[in-house]
């Protein structure tokens, strides 16, 4: 059994913790939090040992009557692998903590790529993380783009990817984010930083990305154009994407017209928190004009990186290869819609 600790128990951390608990070969040894908010209370109710991430704040947990198992240093010592899911930039500050205890660590997409030995996407470069000490699971958008690029590159070869990312303004619980009544080119410079981030997984890929932010919280939506090297038909591409375990081609008859119905669909399916771990690609959007493939996909920013974190744990611990790990993760979570 792999002992896993999670430092930073927010949107991503709590989902990764639950996913670790669901795995047959992993044990969650604890989670670390900075403050005794509603998520801390739930962690304890779930039976997850709760550690204080900041020693000086430990007394706040006592005052809130929330039991602590100890300080984060003890959690790092006990874990075989730590998953750092703290806000952007804090992971970099925590790196020395993991090094002091000789515990390999995963970081999230908000950290710089040069913090780590390798950036990670299970479908594209699982083996690069074998035995690494510091691995970055790329962001939600980069994960969504990588899952699309990998099979297309293998099957046809790619001349160039052009993607416009219509990004949610904030997650549902991020009451301080926006815009609330605007459409923002964001970043205003072109190309956006997302393309170079995808190149941390596919160094030779030609890709330009543009970003916007809109008043929505549910999901991101990508408008994609891939210029392919090989001949392809829309039906062939659809079949290829349907054969991938983490790309869900939305059948037309479901009559799902946007993120709202997608989330409702996930809730109806009994998905925890209404999570959609897969890229959600509209079947009717998959089109080929000459050498150009076009499609729309929705990406659930809060959850698509969760199975990737689980796979990255096995990759650094070298307990499975990509296919074994992806299959185990998918089965344990209940992937497939």
The yes or no reply on residue 87 touching ligand NAD (CB under 6 A) is yes
What gap in Å lies between CA 189 and CA 191, rounded to an integer? 6
Sole window of 29-37, 226-234, 270-278, 318-326 interacting with ligand NAD (rule: CB under 6 A): 29-37
Strand partners, 214: 168
Cβ of residue 284: shortest distance to ligand NAD, in angstroms? Answer: 27
* DSSP E strands, the chain: 2-7, 26-33, 50-52, 70-71, 81-84, 105-107, 118-120, 134-137, 158-168, 184-185, 207-214, 220-228, 247-250, 279-282, 287-289, 292-299
Choice from 16, 26, 32, 116 touching ligand NAD (CB under 6 A) = 32
Selected from 121, 139, 192, 297, the binder of ligand NAD by CB under 6 A is 139
Q: Residue 170 interacts with ligand NAD (CB under 6 A)? A: no
Closer to ligand NAD by CB, 46 or 319: give it.
Answer: 46
User: Is residue 121 involved in binding ligand NAD (CB under 6 A)?
Assistant: no
> Around Cβ 262, how many Cβ atoms within 10 Å?
23
Residue with structure tokens 């059948």?
251
The annotation status of 243 as a binding-site residue, yes or no, is no
**Contact region for ligand NAD (CB under 6 A) — 85-93, 187-195, 210-218, 253-261?**
85-93
- For residue 19, state whether it binds ligand NAD (rule: CB under 6 A): no
Cα–Cα distance between 151 and 100 in angstroms, integer?
A: 39
- Where would I find the H helices in 64-180? 72-78, 90-100, 122-125, 140-155
Does the annotation flag 110 for ligand binding? yes
Q: Does the active-site annotation cover 140?
A: yes
* 17, 44, 106, 140: the active-site residue: 140
Residues making contact with ligand NAD (CB under 6 A): 7-13, 32-34, 53, 85-88, 90, 108-111, 139-140, 171, 301-302, 305
């Amino acid at each position: 059994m792999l002992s896993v600790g999670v430092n930073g128990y927010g949107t991503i951390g709590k989902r990764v913790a639950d996913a670790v608990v669901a795995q047959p070969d992993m044990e969650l040894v604890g989670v670390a939090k900075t403050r005794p908010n509603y998520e801390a209370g739930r962690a304890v109710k779930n039976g997850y040992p709760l550690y204080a991430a900041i020693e000086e704040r430990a007394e706040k947990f006592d005052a809130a009557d929330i039991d602590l198992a100890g300080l984060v240093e003890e959690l790092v010592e006990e874990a075989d692998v730590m998953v750092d899911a703290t806000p952007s930039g804090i992971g970099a500050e925590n790196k020395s903590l993991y090094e002091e205890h000789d515990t390999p660590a995963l970081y999230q997409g908000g950290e710089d790529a040069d913090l780590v030995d390798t950036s990670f996407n299970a479908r594209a470069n699982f083996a690069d993380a074998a035995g690494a000490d510091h691995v970055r699971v790329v962001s939600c958008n980069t994960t969504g783009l990588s899952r699309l690029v990998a099979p297309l590159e293998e099957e046809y070869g790619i001349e160039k990817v052009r993607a416009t990312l219509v990004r949610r303004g904030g997650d549902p619980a991020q009451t301080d984010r926006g815009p609330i009544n605007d459409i923002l080119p964001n970043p205003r410079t072109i190309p956006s930083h997302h393309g170079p981030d995808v190149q941390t997984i596919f160094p030779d890929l030609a890709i330009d990305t543009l970003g916007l932010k809109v008043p929505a919280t549910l999901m991101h939506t990508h408008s994609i154009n891939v210029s392919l090297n090989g001949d392809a038909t829309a039906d062939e591409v659809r079949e290829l994407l349907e054969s991938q375990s983490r790309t869900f081609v939305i059948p037309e008859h479901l009559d799902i017209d946007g993120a709202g119905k997608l989330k409702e669909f996930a809730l109806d399916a009994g998905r925890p928190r209404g999570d959609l771990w897969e890229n959600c690609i509209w079947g009717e959007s998959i089109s080929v004009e000459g050498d150009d493939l076009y499609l729309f996909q929705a990406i659930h920013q809060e959850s698509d990186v969760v199975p990737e974190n689980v796979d990255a744990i096995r990759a650094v611990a070298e307990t499975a290869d990509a296919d074994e790990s992806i299959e185990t993760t998918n089965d344990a979570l209940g992937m497939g819609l």
